[in-house]
Chain A
Amino acid sequence: MKYTAVIGLEVHAQLLTDSKIFCGCSTAFGAEPNSHICPVCTAMPGVLPVLNRRVVEFGIRAALATSGEIAEFAQFARKNYFYPDLPKGYQISQYEYPLAKGGHVEIETNGEKKKIGLTRIHMEEDAGKLVHDDKAPFSYVDLNRTGVPLLEIVSEPDMSTPEEAGEYLRKLRSILRYLGVCDGNMEEGSFRCDANISVMPEGSKTLGTRTELKNMNSFRNVERALEYEIHRQIEVLEDGGSVVQETRLWNDQKNITESMRGKEEAHDYRYFPDPDLVPLRVDREWIAMIKTELPELPDEKIRRFQSEYNLSDYDARVLASEKELAEYFEETVSAGAPPKPASNWIMVELLHKLNDDKVFIADSPIPPKDMARLIGLIEDETISGKIAKTVFAEMYDTHKSPEVIVKEQGLVQITDSGEIAAIVDDIIAAHPDEVAAYRGGKENLLKFFIGQVMKETKGKANPKLVNDLVKKKLGA
């Protein structure tokens, strides 16, 4: 039997506000345990939460960017459960009245476009974390993360393959990064994802029993975990069994999902409106203002790159996938580089190098201006494309400008046809046998002669001139 998978994702995006959601403490990552806490973070008796306006603003940005409908009336609720890293004994979240409902994220897989619907976007606070002592029967509580603001973005179960889920996550991450509301760092946990997944016989309308997947800390892990889980569920069904509704953890070492807890331990969170926070009536004028301040988003940028710079769909997509990359490209172009060569140089040479070195585009050792000048040297035929690669490598390592490198190493292209012609004559004279063979019909020997000339000039000869001259002289 053939099966269809049904996938929905819950993303927790940590917001890039300077202070926490309900107090003024810092949200900086990686500080000494319990150095960014106050009576509100530690839930001292008598303290009260005060909502950080920036969090709402960031939530509105995210909702506007995904065409969601921002609620007239939103409310914080308490999600009650006991855990040592949850100081109040409840998490302040949103339940019945989230900040926004609906909206969608458009993705493209295998050339096909698809809209993934969003159920809701809501605001909540993060919990702290436990640090376990391997040697002693103790655990320590670090509350630095407590109260760090999160957006929870819940999708509809609109995805049916791991690739779609991966694309959705990449696109969502790209949008949030464009908006400046989340840094999207999955490894550091500032962009976390849980997946709900079920399978059903192809054509069926009844959803199968779903499992929830947690603990996936990279896009690749999400795709692999979903892949594994789809096969696992199908196997269970094929063997005549039934899928158990449960939470499963992705085991990165073994490449499998493992059962975490059964349904019998399911929580009753006893949600109710938080009486310490007044209901939120989001000012429509404020929303309109935030809307005018939204940056150009990935989809718009892709369309503009195609029309404005005449780039291919593929190139436009790659360059627009990250705000910083798109900015790098546009800065290179505005520094004088023609769009198409700029796109090629950035995507092929620069991105490969940066990826190998795990460097962000924003930290590129070659600034856009120098990239434009390098391309300019090729365009005005000062250097050949081949030499340019050497110059590029040198620029990357030494941070020197391309002109300096070309000058220092004497890489200026030989465009004097007299000089080249002389070299060609010498080569022809030195290889009588090959000349005879060429003239006898072995036309592919042309490359041999060109190669010899390039070798003689250390690659500096203008390739087009060499080509023309070799052909001309051999033909004579």
Chain B
Amino acid sequence: MDICSSTIHELATAYRNGDTDPVAATETFLERIERINPSLNAYIRITADTALARAKEAKKRLVNNDATTLTGIPLGIKDLMCTRGITTTCGSKILEHFVPPYNATVIERLAGQGAVMLGKTNMDEFAMGSSTESSYFGPTRNPHNTDYIPGGSSGGSAAAVAADLCCAALGSDTGGSIRQPASYTGIVGLKPTYGLVSRYGLVAFASSLDQIGPMTKDVRDAAILFSAIAGHDKRDSTSLEVDIPDYTEFLDRGVQGLRVGVPKEYFGEGLDEEVEGRVMEMVKTLEGGGAKIIDVSIPRTEHALAAYYIIAPSEASSNLARYDGVRYGFRDTRPKDSLIDMFRRSRSGGFGPEVKRRIMLGTYALSAGYYDAYYKKALQVRRLLSDDLEAAFAKVDVIACPAAPTPAYKIGEKLEDPLSMYLGDVYTVTANLAGIPGMSVPAGLNSQGLPIGVQLLAKPLGEEHIFRSAYYLEQNRPHHTPKPSL
């Protein structure tokens, strides 16, 4: 069997059948990473020793019949989830040598199931960016074409999954950072309902928008991984107290009678023709399965991006204030005279340009005299968008739309033009502002061989409908997304 191309459920079956074991599988992945990662830069850090130690424990659990589906499954973890004793950099120089003394809740939950972490994956610095080019540790490359970006900010996780450098990975999504790279690399990426996955131990970018989610090779894996990490956590006040079902149970329920909305605002100017074509093919596929296709409108969509680029930087400017060189992380040791100079130099030297740009944007938006015009107004837009979505979801169960207006672009192409990069988030930010779940499912390649994803959105806690339609699409789509040749 080809271990590295296996999904979680395939590998778990292989373990049970005795075809392979966690130690052998982990070694195989580590070998592949060693060979392939240098050309992709998907991982910032490989944790081979701890991975093998965990794999041995997992092997024992399997022998003792004390295993779950995730026991012994090698995973990649985006480098903004804190791992005790293992450097967690957030893609930034300022945290280059930061070793957290504690684990993120998701890490503990996965460890409890016996999953194996292969390493920490690359990302845009502090998750700010849509291309993984703003990482202090260099850009990640798209496995389908290494001249291209893999998307961002979870580009490292996306590339690692697409290139079979792990079975599955965790990413985080603040404005589309799971769905857009999933779409660009031809994998499945779920941004869950806000509050379903604990943010404890997730290095914050924008607290009211951030959410951890699975990035996987297929929809079943997304359901498996999501079921494992979701659920209430008393250490996160925004964590929801709801029962978490086994999401795999929804997969094969079909789409007969499912109401699928197609929002006209997502199919206008700026949308690549090939992307539109692939997305509409997927809509047709759902219709073929008995789903009812309904035109819907989300009228305030045009303001979503503006609201997002006020709220996210505002929260970021405050969340990133703790990086002052006093307690941990990078400190400039040549302060000229004062305390303020120490702060200034440490932050100037520790943060990259995109992070600085957003801190300044957020600081400005929250300033006395501008608060009402920017931050408060953005919150109002956020509320109106939620109202729009509520109205739409009164008519439909799922909304189908593009995940990004175009396929991946070339490395360096938008680096000098941040605004055009921000525009690439136009279809994803709404879900974060409204706290609703969204998934990108592969919809085939474009004429240049670059993947395209279709995005499925549902109302809060409506993951069930997303899994039903995504799984149906995966089983019945007209165009497959072949593995990259590496």
**Of A44-52, A302-310, A378-386, A398-406, the one touching chain B:** A44-52
Q: A87-B322, A276-B237 are in contact. List 10 more A-B contacts (CB 8 A).
A: A39-B101, A44-B82, A45-B95, A46-B82, A46-B201, A50-B235, A50-B237, A89-B320, A268-B368, A275-B208
* Between-chain CB contacts (< 8 Å), 21 pairs: A39-B102, A45-B82, A45-B90, A45-B203, A46-B81, A46-B202, A47-B102, A47-B200, A48-B236, A50-B234, A50-B236, A82-B324, A84-B339, A89-B322, A270-B363, A270-B366, A275-B206, A275-B208, A275-B238, A278-B237, A278-B238
* B172 smallest CB distance to A (angstroms): 11
Query: Any chain B CB within 8 A of the CB of A78?
Result: yes
Determine if A45 and B318 form an interchain contact, defined as CB atoms under 8 angstroms apart. Answer: no
Measured between alpha carbons, how far is A45 from B84 in the docked complex, in Å? 12
Determine if A43 and B237 form an interchain contact, defined as CB atoms under 8 angstroms apart. Answer: no
Query: Any chain B CB within 8 A of the CB of A257?
Result: no
Measured between alpha carbons, how far is A278 from B88 in the docked complex, in Å? 27
**A270 touches which of B82, B206, B318 (Cβ 8 Å):** B318
From A49, A50, A78, A270, residue with most partner B Cβ within 10 Å: A270
B206 neighbours in A (Cβ, 8 Å): 275
Query: Any chain A CB within 8 A of the CB of B321?
Result: yes
Count of CB-CB pairs between chains A and B under 8 Å = 101
Query: Any chain A CB within 8 A of the CB of B204?
Result: yes
B317 neighbours in A (Cβ, 8 Å): 80, 270
Given A80-B366, A90-B321, A275-B315, A45 and B237 touching (CB < 8 A)? no
**B326 touches which of A47, A48, A141 (Cβ 8 Å):** A141
Report the contact-size class of chain B (Cβ under 8 Å from the partner). 35 or more
**B327 touches which of A42, A50, A275 (Cβ 8 Å):** A42
**A272 touches which of B201, B318, B327 (Cβ 8 Å):** B318
Binary A-proximity of B226-269 (CB < 8 A = 1, otherwise 0): 00000000111110000000000000000000000000000000
Measured between alpha carbons, how far is A90 from B319 in the docked complex, in Å? 9
Binary A-proximity of B285-315 (CB < 8 A = 1, otherwise 0): 0000000000000000000000000000011
Query: Any chain B CB within 8 A of the CB of A145?
Result: no
Task: Across the interface, name the chain A residue whose C-beta is closest to B104.
Answer: A46
Task: Across the interface, name the chain A residue whose C-beta is closest to B347.
Answer: A82
**A82 touches which of B200, B235, B343 (Cβ 8 Å):** B343
Query: Any chain B CB within 8 A of the CB of A277?
Result: yes
Determine if B237 and A277 form an interchain contact, defined as CB atoms under 8 angstroms apart. Answer: yes
B343 neighbours in A (Cβ, 8 Å): 82
Query: Any chain B CB within 8 A of the CB of A88?
Result: yes
Given A272-B371, A275-B208, A45 and B238 touching (CB < 8 A)? no
Q: Which residues of B contact A (CB under 8 A)?
A: 80-82, 88, 90, 95, 98, 100-102, 104, 199-204, 206-208, 234-238, 314-315, 317-318, 320-322, 324, 326-328, 339-340, 343, 363, 366-368, 371, 375
A84 neighbours in B (Cβ, 8 Å): 324, 326, 339
Determine if A45 and B207 form an interchain contact, defined as CB atoms under 8 angstroms apart. Answer: no
A51 neighbours in B (Cβ, 8 Å): 237
Measured between alpha carbons, how far is A444 from B205 in the docked complex, in Å? 92
Q: Which residues of A contact B (CB under 8 A)?
A: 39, 42-51, 78, 80, 82, 84, 87-90, 141, 268, 270-272, 275-278
* A330 smallest CB distance to B (angstroms): 43
Determine if A44 and B100 form an interchain contact, defined as CB atoms under 8 angstroms apart. Answer: yes
Main secondary structure of the interface of A (DSSP, over half): loop
Measured between alpha carbons, how far is A84 from B346 in the docked complex, in Å? 13
Measured between alpha carbons, how far is A394 from B129 in the docked complex, in Å? 80
Determine if B318 and A80 form an interchain contact, defined as CB atoms under 8 angstroms apart. Answer: yes
Determine if B367 and A43 form an interchain contact, defined as CB atoms under 8 angstroms apart. Answer: no
Determine if A45 and B235 form an interchain contact, defined as CB atoms under 8 angstroms apart. Answer: no
A39 neighbours in B (Cβ, 8 Å): 100-102
* B346 smallest CB distance to A (angstroms): 11
Determine if A45 and B88 form an interchain contact, defined as CB atoms under 8 angstroms apart. Answer: yes
Measured between alpha carbons, how far is A141 from B342 in the docked complex, in Å? 15
Measured between alpha carbons, how far is A114 from B326 in the docked complex, in Å? 48
Measured between alpha carbons, how far is A49 from B104 in the docked complex, in Å? 14
A272 neighbours in B (Cβ, 8 Å): 314, 318, 366, 371, 375
B203 neighbours in A (Cβ, 8 Å): 45-46
B204 neighbours in A (Cβ, 8 Å): 45-46, 276
Measured between alpha carbons, how far is A42 from B81 in the docked complex, in Å? 18
Q: 6 closest A-B pairs (Cβ-Cβ)?
A: A89-B321, A275-B208, A270-B366, A275-B207, A45-B203, A46-B201
A268 neighbours in B (Cβ, 8 Å): 367-368
* B156 smallest CB distance to A (angstroms): 18
Determine if A87 and B201 form an interchain contact, defined as CB atoms under 8 angstroms apart. Answer: no
* A471 smallest CB distance to B (angstroms): 82
Given A84-B326, A270-B366, A89 and B200 touching (CB < 8 A)? no
Measured between alpha carbons, how far is A50 from B105 in the docked complex, in Å? 15
